Amino acid sequence: MSLLQSLKGGGRHGVPASESRDPIGLAVAALNRLAQSQVLDRLGVRKQAEQTVFTVTRSGFKVATNAGRTFAKAGKKGQPGVRVPSASRSGVFDLTPTEDEQMLVDVVSEFAQEVVRPAAAEADESCTAPDDLLKSSLEIGLPILGIPEALGGISESRSAMAGTLVAEALAKGDMGLAVATLAPGAVATALGLWGTDAQQQTYLPAFTGEEVPAAALALNEPRVLFDVLAPSTTATKTAEGYVLNGVKSLVPRGAEAELFLVGASLEGTPALFLVESKTEGLEIEGDPAMGVRAAGMTTLTLTDVKVGSDAILGETDGSTYVECVRLSRLAWCALAVGTAQAVLDYVTPYVKEREAFGEPIAHRQSVAFMVANIAIELQAMRLVTYKAASRVAQGIDATREIALARKLCADKGMQIGLDGVQLLGGHGFVKEHPVERWYRDLRAIGIMEGAVLV
């Protein structure tokens, strides 16, 4: 690259490519580059370039995926796997969780409050979930929630409602850590829903066993106006199976993952592919984003990745893929509800304690009405999400309801995040309070595809 080219104004640093530098701009840019190199030398930061340990916080550093375990092939190929039945249809409108669901929510809520919330700030900073937190999430059974009982899981019937309640409860602790702990379960649940006997027997024992693998549902791609239904990652059929090529973005815990479920276009129709991390041609790179950082987001690059003909999960007509997209969006709605509840619970005492002009700011309608609107829209988000989840659990088509829940949770969730910071004023902008993190996390709803699933 010539010096002149490298000093071109636009196309980098968020500057539109149409921008060009005038002579003063060129001088400033050159000075800036010099200053940067001095800083690098003085702090000895350059040595870090030789460091081989992967960290999500540093982008532009590609490594091969986790060598991972060998999943021993088992079960009958092509034979349908175990399926759980839909939940029963009572026909009665009821907002009360079942006893089992309530117990589950109580356990997860305590975990969220005692373990997740205290770890959230540091996990956000370091873009990693603490090991002991991940271990205890396994103890409370998060990854096996959606696995059929017959395969060592705990699900007797379709568990989308329970999954929704759990995701909400976890996200009240922290959205990023919720995604980190739920990511393996997303792949396990997908195997339960759509896996063949062979796929279930090959992979699920690992998830129900002692050493649960990290795993990631990778649907997003780094493209403007991304349409998840038209991925540019491709799968090409060969004599032995398929060859995958493309880039997936915002893949949770990609560095540790031992199993990926990747969305790719097969002859123009999107489908899901199981890709083990030790497969050749996989590379991951840190992909830290505005929020949900504790989930250790990465990009996954697939270059001529060869998988077997049994790597396809579910149907090749696009039906499994679109169902997966919907169930993933539903899980993100549940996360939005949990985080929005955290905002409401935080600002409520704050505005009553914080005084201005001689009285609590909560005594002013402009402040109080903001809190009222958070409460109203939050409850609306919750009900619309629950309706979608209960339809999924009962085996009723939820296409419309999930779309509406996603729209509402994206719009109102972001508004709640925004108002949460505003209500704390300058204090909301600094990291002493968690509202700025929730603001960043809530922007993910409506953008995220994949990663979690109920």
Partner 1 sequence: MPINLEDPKKLRPLRDQVHQVAMNMLRPISRKYDKAEHTYPKELDMLAAMADGLNESGASEGAGAAGVRRDNSSTDTTVRNGSNMASVMSVAEMCWGDVGLTLSMPRQGLGNSAIASVADDEQLKRFAGVWASMAITEPGTGSDSANIKTTATKDGDHYVLNGEKIFVTSGERSDAVVVWATLDRELGRAAIKSFVVPKGTPGMKVERLEHKLGIKASDTATITFTDCRVPAENLLGSPEIDVKQGFAGAMATFDNTRPLVASMAVGCARASLDLTRELLAKAGVEVDYDRPATVQSAAAAKFLQLEADWEAAYLLMLQAAWMADNRKPNSLEASMAKAKAGRVGSDITLSCVELCSSVGYAEGELLEKWARDSKILDIFEGTQQIQQLIVARRILGLTSAELK
Interface ranges with partner 1 (CB under 8 A): 87-98, 101, 161, 225-229, 322, 325-326, 344, 348, 351-352, 360, 362-363, 365, 368-369, 371-373, 375-377, 379-381, 383-384, 386-387, 389-391, 393-394, 396, 399-405, 407-408, 411
**Alpha carbon 427 to chain centroid distance?**
28
Q: For partner 1, which is the closer residue by CB, 112 or 393?
A: 393
Closest CA to 281 of 332, 245, 312, 254: 245
Contact 143, 185 (CB under 8 A): yes
Q: What is the C-alpha separation between 321 and 264, in angstroms, rounded?
A: 9
Q: For partner 1, which is the closer residue by CB, 117 or 352?
A: 352
Q: Which two tokens stand for residue 290?
A: 């505005």
Closest CA to 213 of 64, 63, 68: 68
Minimum distance from residue 60 beta carbon to partner 1 (Å): 28
Q: For partner 1, which is the closer residue by CB, 123 or 405?
A: 405
Minimum distance from residue 156 beta carbon to partner 1 (Å): 12
Minimum distance from residue 106 beta carbon to partner 1 (Å): 16
Q: For partner 1, which is the closer residue by CB, 12 or 223?
A: 223
Q: For partner 1, which is the closer residue by CB, 22 or 94?
A: 94
Minimum distance from residue 293 beta carbon to partner 1 (Å): 23
Minimum distance from residue 435 beta carbon to partner 1 (Å): 17
Q: Which two tokens stand for residue 203?
A: 């992979």
Q: What is the C-alpha separation between 200 and 25, in angstroms, rounded?
A: 60
The dihedral sign for the CA sequence 291, 295, 298, 299: negative
Minimum distance from residue 105 beta carbon to partner 1 (Å): 11
Minimum distance from residue 375 beta carbon to partner 1 (Å): 5
Q: Which residues lie across from 299 on neighbouring strands?
A: 285
Between the alpha carbon of residue 125 and those of residues 45, 58, 108, 130, 274, the distances in Å are 19, 12, 24, 12, 31
Minimum distance from residue 446 beta carbon to partner 1 (Å): 8
Minimum distance from residue 84 beta carbon to partner 1 (Å): 14
Between the alpha carbon of residue 217 and those of residues 100, 129, 225, the distances in Å are 27, 17, 20
What is the three-state SS of 334-401? HHHHHHHHHHHHHHHHHHHHCEECCEEHHHCHHHHHHHHHHHHHHHHHHHHHHHHHHHHHCCCCCHHH
Strand pairing report for 298-308 and 241-251: antiparallel
Q: For partner 1, which is the closer residue by CB, 227 or 432?
A: 227
Q: For partner 1, which is the closer residue by CB, 177 or 389?
A: 389
Q: What is the C-alpha separation between 41 and 296, in angstroms, rounded?
A: 29
Q: For partner 1, which is the closer residue by CB, 127 or 264?
A: 264
Closest CA to 97 of 182, 171, 178, 163: 163
Q: For partner 1, which is the closer residue by CB, 168 or 258?
A: 168
